Amino acid sequence: MKTLKIIKIGGNIIDDNEALHSFLKEFASIDGPKLLVHGGGKSATKLANQMKVEVKMIDGRRITDAETLDVITMVYAGKINKNIVAQLQASNCNAIGFSGADGNAIVSEKRPIKTIDYGFVGDVKKVNTNALEIILNNAIIPVFCAITHDGNGQLLNTNADTIASALAIDLSNIFNTELYYCFEKNGVLVDVNNNDSVIEHINSQTYQELKSNGIIYEGMLPKIDNCFHAITHNVNKVCIGKPEMLFNAKTKYTTITK
214 annotated to a ligand binding site? no
Distance CA 45, CA 37 (A): 19
60 annotated to a ligand binding site? no
The secondary structure of 66-116 as a DSSP string is: HHHHHHHIIIIIIIIHHHHHHHHHHTT--EEEE-TTGGG-EEEEEPPPSSS
41 annotated to a ligand binding site? yes
Q: How far is CA 163 from CA 11, 84, 148, 175, in A?
A: 16, 18, 9, 17
Q: State which amino acid sits at residue 153.
A: G
Query: 16 in helix, strand or coil?
Result: coil
Q: Are strands 106-110 and 122-127 parallel, antiparallel or unpaired?
A: antiparallel
111 annotated to a ligand binding site? no
Residues near 109 by beta carbon (within 8 Å), at least 6 away in sequence: 122, 123, 125, 150
Annotated binding-site residues for substrate read 40-41, 62, 157
Annotated binding-site residues read 40-41, 62, 157
